[in-house]
Amino acid sequence: MSAERRNEQLDLLRSERAVAVLRADDADLAYDVACAVLEGGIRALEVTMTVPDASLVMTRLASIDGALVGAGTVLTAEEVDQCVDDGAHFIFSPTCCQDVVVRSKERDVPVIPGAMTPTEVLTAWRMGADMVKVFPAARLGPAFLSDLRGPLPGIPLVPTGGITDENATDYLDAGAELLCLGSWLVNRELMSQGRLDEITERARSIRRILDAYGG
């Protein structure tokens, strides 16, 4: 992926405004859930490395026209290489890991490491992060995101955890560059009961909110 292509991926992520975080105990289920999310209009998909055969899931999803496939829970430079080779176009990490940031930059893919405190956010940004994942957002809320943006206005922040159709706008109002939607959207109870149509409807709900948002 060239630097130009990398910037295109960043622009696409920003325009999407949402990423579905895929966690499942089975590769086929993860793929089916991803397809349900895509049907609902959320095109950016983060396949976490905790999914069994995550590489296979990424490769299958990367072949779908219009899907923006990334890797999550990436902790090492070697995993960055594996994920990019499997078709990942962006990298998420739950931590501020220099090896992950450096290798992602070397492979010309957007990288979004995780941080919580102002010091961690600034450290990740100075390492070369394209955006910084604020995790766990569910414990901190939109107000914390807004507080971070006070002294660090130039760093694009990506809250992750606890985001739903009821508070998505609050996070956007607080300055979120991108929203990561996990357990509410990719809900384990709905998955286990095969109610993928309801996951599609949740994706549609978020898509409508994002498309209507004017902030």
Identify whether the C-beta of residue 70 lies closer than 8 Å to the C-beta of residue 43.
Answer: no
Determine whether domain 3-212 maps to CATH 3.40.50.300: no
Tens-place pLDDT, residues 44-103: 999 999 999 999 999 999 999 999 999 999 999 999 999 999 999 999 999 999 999 999
**pLDDT for residue 2:** 66
Query: 199: pLDDT confidence band, cut at 50, 70 and 90?
Result: very high
**pLDDT for residue 39:** 98
Tens-place pLDDT, residues 95-125: 999 999 999 999 999 999 999 999 999 999 9
Averaged pLDDT score across all residues of the chain: 95
Domain ranges in the chain are 3-212
Residue of 4, 133, 166, 189 with catalytic role: 133
Residue of 39, 46, 105, 120 with catalytic role: 46
Residue 133 catalytic?
Answer: yes
Query: Can you give the pTM of this predicted structure?
Result: 0.95
* Separate counts of helices (H) and strands (E) for the chain: 10, 9
Average of per-residue pLDDT across 177-197 = 96
Residue 105 catalytic?
Answer: no
**pLDDT for residue 5:** 81
State yes or no: pLDDT of 13 exceeds 90: yes
Q: Whole-angstrom Cα distance, residue 208 to residue 196? A: 19
Backbone phi, psi, residue 111, to 5°: -130, 135
**pLDDT for residue 59:** 97
**pLDDT for residue 1:** 53
Q: Whole-angstrom Cα distance, residue 178 to residue 28? A: 27
Query: 210: pLDDT confidence band, cut at 50, 70 and 90?
Result: very high
